[in-house]
Amino acid sequence: MIYLGLAALALVAVALVLSDGSDSVGGVIGPDQLANLAWTGTILLLVVAGFWRQFTARLGANLQALLAWGLIGLALVIGYSYRDRIQDVGARVLGDLRPGSATSSGDGSVTVTRRADGDFRVNAEVNGRVQPFLFDTGASSVVLTAENAAALGLTPAPADFTARVSTANGITYAAPTQLDSLSVGTITERRVNAMVAKPGALSANLLGQTFLSRLSGYEVRGDRLILRRP
């Protein structure tokens, strides 16, 4: 390879001599440009020759490394091409490992995995703070326990507990309120009407119809609850 470079450099020198000081060599390129091109090409050829010599000195190991990098590059290309599907699979695995956590899909839906006790318990954000909820289609409203409401700064007076709330466990009395925001995964609803239950009336927050009715739909498929954004 070095000999080829020297031969090419010699040909350039001959061409420069034959140009006899003319403005161009062969009517295509100027002498200065040709000299610069020859010099740059020679340096590049020497560098490549050095790398090639080192590469061939350990040909087997270098070919293995080259193959490994090629496979890594191929994996990155495939991963980028199928990134949405990979994210969905990862979300489902995370949901299985952490029941109650909401995982989002590429279509905008949110999936929650059933807990071992058989209930769908959903970790939602209320006014920016995480609260656990029991998915309850029989609840006419989102209902907070008195304890969880107090943690959010909602403390109704005793006289405010005047609303009858229907739940899967029966009827209880609660105080009407409004939540600035309620988020489950990537689904966020603003100004959600809710209730604060009397102290001791409920053991868990209820994700009821004042939130669920705003969705475009929800369904249970086996051990998964699927909520669809409005």
pLDDT, one tens digit per residue, over 2-33 is 455 555 555 555 554 555 545 554 555 555 66
How far is C-alpha 151 from the geometric centre of its chain's CA atoms? Answer: 31
Q: For the whole prediction, is pTM greater than 0.95?
A: no
Contacts of residue 227, defined as CB under 8 A and 6 or more positions apart, other chains included, come to: 102, 109, 110, 111, 112, 184, 185, 187, 212, 215, 218
Give the CATH number, domain containing residue 147. 2.40.70.10
Following CA atoms 57, 62, 64, 68 in sequence, which dihedral angle do they give, to the nearest 10 degrees? 180
Residue 161's nearest CA partner among 149, 147, 172 is 172
Asked whether residue 77 falls in the same domain as residue 106, the answer is no
Residue 195's nearest CA partner among 180, 175, 213 is 175
Q: Is residue 160 part of a domain?
A: yes
| Confidence at residue 53, expressed as pLDDT on a 0 to 100 scale | 67
Q: Is residue 197 part of a domain?
A: yes
48: pLDDT strictly greater than 70: no
Asked whether residue 77 falls in the same domain as residue 187, the answer is no
| Confidence at residue 142, expressed as pLDDT on a 0 to 100 scale | 94
CA distance 136 to 159: 26
Asked whether residue 71 falls in the same domain as residue 120, the answer is no
Q: Is residue 7 part of a domain?
A: yes
- DSSP states of 62-74 as a string? HHHHHHHHHHHHH
Two tokens at 40?
């740059």
| Confidence at residue 116, expressed as pLDDT on a 0 to 100 scale | 74
Contacts of residue 99, defined as CB under 8 A and 6 or more positions apart, other chains included, come to: 112, 113, 114, 115, 116, 121
Asked whether residue 77 falls in the same domain as residue 125, the answer is no
Q: Is residue 87 part of a domain?
A: no
109: pLDDT strictly greater than 60: yes
Total domains, the chain: 2
Asked whether residue 112 falls in the same domain as residue 38, the answer is no
Using a 10 angstrom Cβ sphere, with 0-12 exposed, 13-18 middle and 19 or more buried, the burial of residue 8 is middle
Backbone angles phi, psi at 6, to 5 degrees: -65, -40
Asked whether residue 110 falls in the same domain as residue 218, the answer is yes
Asked whether residue 123 falls in the same domain as residue 189, the answer is yes
Asked whether residue 76 falls in the same domain as residue 109, the answer is no
Using a 10 angstrom Cβ sphere, with 0-12 exposed, 13-18 middle and 19 or more buried, the burial of residue 55 is middle
Range of the domain at 39: 2-81
Asked whether residue 218 falls in the same domain as residue 155, the answer is yes
pLDDT, one tens digit per residue, over 153-164 is 999 998 999 888
Total Cβ atoms within 10 A of residue 169: 15
Asked whether residue 117 falls in the same domain as residue 218, the answer is yes
